[in-house]
Amino acid sequence: MISKLQAAALAAVVTLPLALTGTAQAGATFDGVKQKGYVQCGVNLGLYGFSAPDDKGKWTGLDVDVCRAVAAAVFGDSEKVKYTPLSAQQRLPALQSGEIDLLARNTTRTLSRDTANGLNFAPTNYYDGQGFMVSAKLGLKSAKQLNGATVCVLPGTTTEQNVADFFRANKMNFKPVVIEKNEELHKAFFSGRCDALTSDASQLAAIRAAETQNPNDYLILPELISKEPLSPAIRQGDDEWANVVTWAFFAMVQAEEKGITSENVDASMTSPDPDVKRLLGVTAGNGKALGVEENWAYTIIKQVGNYGQSFERNVGAGSKLKMPRGQNALYTEGGLMYAPPLK
Amino acid sequence: MSKLVQALNSARVRGWLYQALFVSGTLAVGWYLVSNTLTNLSKRGVATGFGFLNREAGFEIGESLLTYAASDTYLKAMVVGLLNTLTVSAVAIVLASILGIVIGVARLSSNWMVGRFAAVFVETVRNVPLLLQLVVWYTIMNRLPSPREALEVVPHVFLSNRGLKFPTFVEHAGHGWAFLALVLGIVGAVLVVRYGRKHRETTGKPFPTLPLALASVVLPPVAVFVGSGAPFAFDVPVLTGFNFEGGAAVSPEFTALLIGLSVYTAGFIAEIVRSGILAVPHGQTEAGLALGLSPAHILRLIILPQALRVIVPPLTSQYLNLTKNSSLAVAIGYPDLVSVTNTSANQTGQVVEAVAMMMAVYLIISLCIAGFMNWYNRKVALVTR
């Protein structure tokens, strides 16, 4: 106990925000958000397609849309969000300490984060997997040909462990080069310091689209070596807040399944389908149960769009990334996106 | 009553009172921060404690002095990181000192070119942020050719963007004996230097210290090496697949960090050396000349002993800065203590413990350096009677 205290005494200096949060405010995130009048949302420092400021300085992306959907549900206005750009290392302490209300920053849902780190996860908004990108010149076809390779790895994620696991499982060796800053890491890879760059496949596609002259010079190998269910996260201890975040996302998925888009949502208000009526609040009940306005889902669809629209706009065909829907298609189309009944 | 007032007015009581208030205030604030952190962590269900150190780390480290694999513990991983920090700091301290002394003396040179060059060097490296310099050095390293087009500097030594690959000796029993002979030789050299000093002090006559000391260091290991049949076998690097196998390597990350730290700190050390030399009045040199001493003797016997007492204290700060600056390694991918600990913290989520450990380790390293330098400072300080 003593050593723990001494260690904490040292650490207290650097984690002053955590120490000064005060003990009274635990829980009740939802009340706090309503009182402030905006959602404080933790996002990536800049990951094209997921959360990055556009040329007008407005945050856009698949993760940003989760923040906007929650704000739309709570306040009826998707713009009532304040963004906190966070590095991989900063993100968990920022959420734990109460600095942010919601973390939508391509964060993989894992057991230890769900337990030891004191987090709760909302439904996965992007099913990803870790892959390898190599120069097309090498003529590689499979990640299993990477024995002896030097691999550039971004720290602060499960990435380092996954790549070590993959090479151990296949009885191969590699040398990691771990650089904290994205730009420097990508520069090291593109200058040839590493044979391969490893990250989530979506990120590799984003890097290839944004940072190469000719994207065809680089190849993303077919193996995905991990499951990366990227999910928004909240602190433990406020179940009402967890409900709002969870169902705000499910509403977007449900809207896609029902074919309701931001363009036709007004026309859908007169739909005879009881599911649609409940979703859009024509039949009251869902809003009261969540503690928000009855038209909460209508506002989300009107202002942010359904999940399919958000996907295409940010990472799909309508973006530079051109990611296929794959696992992120609706379950009706062979994907994993499935919203439980909203009733 | 009047006695109490009297007591409160006495300087001694007041002094005690203020100190007691200050100490208890500091302790109270510290206690509040610690207990509040622990309460908040447990309230949010965040695990605390150092149990994670014994769990499997599960990640690889790019370079290591020990044999390390992903199946080793977090503690071992951090030790590997610590050794990497100590290696780069120790080598950089030596290089920075040598370079700093050379540049510092050069800046005092009466040769216009040499003096100007040293001045430009100092002003440039001192005034550009270290992080930028590191990135520049690293970018230069990465501009080297790929392993398949590696430059063969001398036979079997390859320079590429994977670093400098060079052959190593295949181990042989004779090497151990030669090393032992080297250690004994160094001990012998120290004895020679001591005897030489005593001889000079008692007789006033010079003694050929340098040649004898050198001979003592060089001759015994060479004799043993040749005597044991001169076992020469090399482990030569060979290009296979992605990279060279065999031999040993100095990585681009290490090199970039080493050059960056050495050059940056050398700029400051140069100024410290210059100030130390300028602090010795010119009259001392003239007095030495008048006594008929040679310029080399004047520098060694008169200028340096007096300059050192000015140089050593600020030099200590530079060594401490260099060691702490080595944590910028994370920017260019050298797996130092901070890099490895960051990874551990991210995987376990126990940031408070990890940061506390890093702070404690840097504190200990810094106190050790400061302790050694203070001892050295007392040794070279001017003794006034």
Q: Could you give the 3-state DSSP secondary structure of residue B225? A: helix
Are residue A248 and residue A110 in the same domain, yes or no?
Answer: yes
- Across chain A, mean pLDDT equals 88
Segment 244-263 of chain B within 8 Å of chain A by CB: 245, 252-253
Count Cβ atoms below 10 Å from residue A273 Cβ, excluding itself. 12
* Interface check B209 vs A, CB under 8 A: no
Q: What pLDDT, on a 0 to 100 scale, did the predictor assign at position A21?
A: 45
- With a cut of 70, say whether residue B231 has pLDDT above it: no
Segment 347-366 of chain B within 8 Å of chain A by CB: 347-353, 355-357, 359-360
Tell me which amino acid residue A52 is. A
Are residue A148 and residue A279 in the same domain, yes or no?
Answer: no
Instruction: Determine the average pLDDT of the residues in A35-46.
Output: 94
- With a cut of 50, say whether residue A14 has pLDDT above it: no
Q: What pLDDT, on a 0 to 100 scale, did the predictor assign at position A156?
A: 59
Across the interface, of A23, A89, A192, the residue whose CB is closest to B39 is: A23
pLDDT category at A19 given cuts 50, 70, 90 is very low
**Domain span holding position A108:** 28-125+232-328
For the stretch B298-311, pLDDT in tens is 888 888 888 988 89
Q: What pLDDT, on a 0 to 100 scale, did the predictor assign at position A18?
A: 47
Tell me which amino acid residue B349 is. G
Please count the structural domains in chain A.
Answer: 2
The gap from C-alpha B55 to its chain's centroid, in whole angstroms, comes to 31
> Does residue A56 lie in a domain region?
yes
Q: What pLDDT, on a 0 to 100 scale, did the predictor assign at position B230?
A: 62
Cβ pair A12:B37 closer than 8 A:
yes
Cβ pair B353:A117 closer than 8 A:
no
- With a cut of 60, say whether residue A23 has pLDDT above it: no
Are residue A75 and residue A49 in the same domain, yes or no?
Answer: yes
Are residue A258 and residue A191 in the same domain, yes or no?
Answer: no
Tell how strand B168-169 and strand B234-235 pair up. antiparallel
- Across chain B, mean pLDDT equals 88
B200 vs B297: CA distance, rounded Å? 13
> Does residue A17 lie in a domain region?
no
Are residue A118 and residue A239 in the same domain, yes or no?
Answer: yes
Produce one character per residue of B178-217: b if its CB has 16 or more CB atoms within 10 Å, e if not.
Answer: beebbeebeebbeebbeebeeeeeeeeeeeebeeebeebb
Tell me the residue ranges of DSSP E strands in B138-267.
151-154, 157-160, 163-166, 168-169, 234-235, 238-240, 243-245, 248-250
Q: What pLDDT, on a 0 to 100 scale, did the predictor assign at position B42?
A: 79
Q: What residues in B contact A164, CB-CB < 8 Å?
A: 58-60, 70
Produce one character per residue of B35-61: b if its CB has 16 or more CB atoms within 10 Å, e if not.
Answer: bbbbebbeebbbbbebebbeeebbbbb
Are residue A121 and residue A236 in the same domain, yes or no?
Answer: yes
Instruction: Determine the average pLDDT of the residues in B137-164.
Output: 86
Residue of A91, A103, A193 for testing the chain B interface, max B β-carbons within 10 Å: A193
Are residue A121 and residue A262 in the same domain, yes or no?
Answer: yes
DSSP symbol at A78: T
Tell me how many degrees the CA angle A136-A137-A140 measures, rounded to the nearest 5: 65
- With a cut of 60, say whether residue A1 has pLDDT above it: no
pLDDT category at B232 given cuts 50, 70, 90 is low
For the stretch A43-78, pLDDT in tens is 998 888 999 998 899 999 999 999 999 999 999 999
| φ, ψ at A39 (rounded to 5°) | -100, 125
* Interface check B162 vs A, CB under 8 A: yes
Q: Quote the tokens at residue A334.
A: 């062979």
Residue of B32, B41, B43, B44 for testing the chain A interface, max A β-carbons within 10 Å: B44
Q: What pLDDT, on a 0 to 100 scale, did the predictor assign at position B360?
A: 95
Residue of B240, B242, B353 for testing the chain A interface, max A β-carbons within 10 Å: B242
CA distance B94 to chain A (A): 26
Percentage of chain B with pLDDT > 90? Answer: 44
* Interface check B42 vs A, CB under 8 A: no
* Interface check B33 vs A, CB under 8 A: yes
Instruction: Determine the average pLDDT of the residues in A185-211.
Output: 89
Are residue A239 and residue A317 in the same domain, yes or no?
Answer: yes
Are residue A56 and residue A101 in the same domain, yes or no?
Answer: yes
CATH number reported for the structural domain that contains residue A274 in this entry: 3.40.190.10
- With a cut of 70, say whether residue A11 has pLDDT above it: no
Q: What pLDDT, on a 0 to 100 scale, did the predictor assign at position B296?
A: 84
Q: Quote the tokens at residue B305.
A: 């002993």
* Range with the poorest average pLDDT among A325-334, B198-207, B223-232, B271-280: B223-232
> Does residue A18 lie in a domain region?
no
Percentage of chain A with pLDDT > 70? Answer: 92
Cβ pair B37:A181 closer than 8 A:
no
Q: What pLDDT, on a 0 to 100 scale, did the predictor assign at position B338?
A: 93
* Range with the poorest average pLDDT among B167-181, B189-203, B365-379: B167-181
Q: What pLDDT, on a 0 to 100 scale, did the predictor assign at position A206?
A: 85
Cβ pair B143:A191 closer than 8 A:
yes
- With a cut of 70, say whether residue B261 has pLDDT above it: yes
DSSP letters, B84-143, are HHHHHHHHHHHHHHHHHHHHHHHHT-SSHHHHHHHHHHHHHHHHS-HHHHHHHHHHHHHT
Chain A residue with Cα closest to B58: A161
Cβ pair A4:B49 closer than 8 A:
yes
Q: What pLDDT, on a 0 to 100 scale, did the predictor assign at position B153?
A: 79
Q: Which residues contact B284 (CB under 8 A, 6 or more apart)?
A: B302, B303, B306
> Does residue A249 lie in a domain region?
yes
Cβ pair A161:B46 closer than 8 A:
no
Are residue A276 and residue A299 in the same domain, yes or no?
Answer: yes
A102 vs A238: CA distance, rounded Å? 12
Global pTM? 0.74
Residue of B61, B351, B359 for testing the chain A interface, max A β-carbons within 10 Å: B351
Are residue A167 and residue A134 in the same domain, yes or no?
Answer: yes
Are residue A99 and residue A51 in the same domain, yes or no?
Answer: yes
Q: What pLDDT, on a 0 to 100 scale, did the predictor assign at position A95?
A: 93
- In words, the CATH class of domain B74-170+248-380 is mainly alpha
- With a cut of 70, say whether residue B328 has pLDDT above it: yes
Chain B residue with Cα closest to A178: B333
Q: What pLDDT, on a 0 to 100 scale, did the predictor assign at position A17?
A: 46
Look at residues A168, A198, A228 and tell me which one is the last residue of a structural domain: A228
Closest CA to B87 of B359, B341, B342, B365: B365
Across the interface, of B343, B349, B359, the residue whose CB is closest to A113 is: B349
For the stretch A267-304, pLDDT in tens is 999 999 999 999 999 999 999 999 999 999 999 999 99
Q: What pLDDT, on a 0 to 100 scale, did the predictor assign at position B156?
A: 81
Instruction: Determine the average pLDDT of the residues in B246-253.
Output: 85
Cβ pair B353:A7 closer than 8 A:
yes
Instruction: Determine the average pLDDT of the residues in A202-223.
Output: 87
Cβ pair B45:A156 closer than 8 A:
no
Q: Could you give the 3-state DSSP secondary structure of residue A200? A: strand
- With a cut of 60, say whether residue A16 has pLDDT above it: no
- With a cut of 50, say whether residue A42 has pLDDT above it: yes
Q: What residues in B contact A95, CB-CB < 8 Å?
A: none
Q: What residues in B contact A236, CB-CB < 8 Å?
A: 44-45
For tokens 């050299």, what's the residue?
B189
Q: What residues in B contact A187, CB-CB < 8 Å?
A: 139, 142
> Does residue A22 lie in a domain region?
no
CA distance A267 to chain B (A): 45
For the stretch B53-100, pLDDT in tens is 888 888 999 888 888 988 899 999 999 999 999 999 999 999 999 999
Q: What pLDDT, on a 0 to 100 scale, did the predictor assign at position B107?
A: 92
Q: What residues in A contact B70, CB-CB < 8 Å?
A: 164-165, 168
Q: What pLDDT, on a 0 to 100 scale, did the predictor assign at position B213?
A: 85
Look at residues A228, A246, A264 and tell me which one is the last residue of a structural domain: A228
pLDDT category at B116 given cuts 50, 70, 90 is very high
Q: Quote the tokens at residue A219.
A: 């190849």
Question: Residue ranges of the domains in chain B?
Answer: 2-46, 74-170+248-380, 173-232
Top pLDDT among B249 and A190 is at A190
| φ, ψ at B176 (rounded to 5°) | -60, -45
Look at residues A228, A257, A278 and tell me which one is the last residue of a structural domain: A228
Cβ pairs A/B, distance under 8 A: 188
DSSP letters, A269-321, are TT---HHHHHHTTSS-SHHHHHTS-TTHHHHHHHHT--HHHHHHHHTSTTSSS
Instruction: Determine the average pLDDT of the residues in A322-335.
Output: 91
Top pLDDT among B250 and A21 is at B250
Closest CA to A162 of A224, A218, A112: A224
Cβ pair B348:A14 closer than 8 A:
no
Instruction: Determine the average pLDDT of the residues in A151-162.
Output: 82
Residues A85 and A91: beta-carbon distance below 8 Å: no
Q: What pLDDT, on a 0 to 100 scale, did the predictor assign at position B385?
A: 61
Count Cβ atoms below 10 Å from residue B1 Cβ, excluding itself. 5
- This complex has an ipTM of 0.75
Cβ pair B71:A168 closer than 8 A:
yes
Beta bridge partners of B83: none
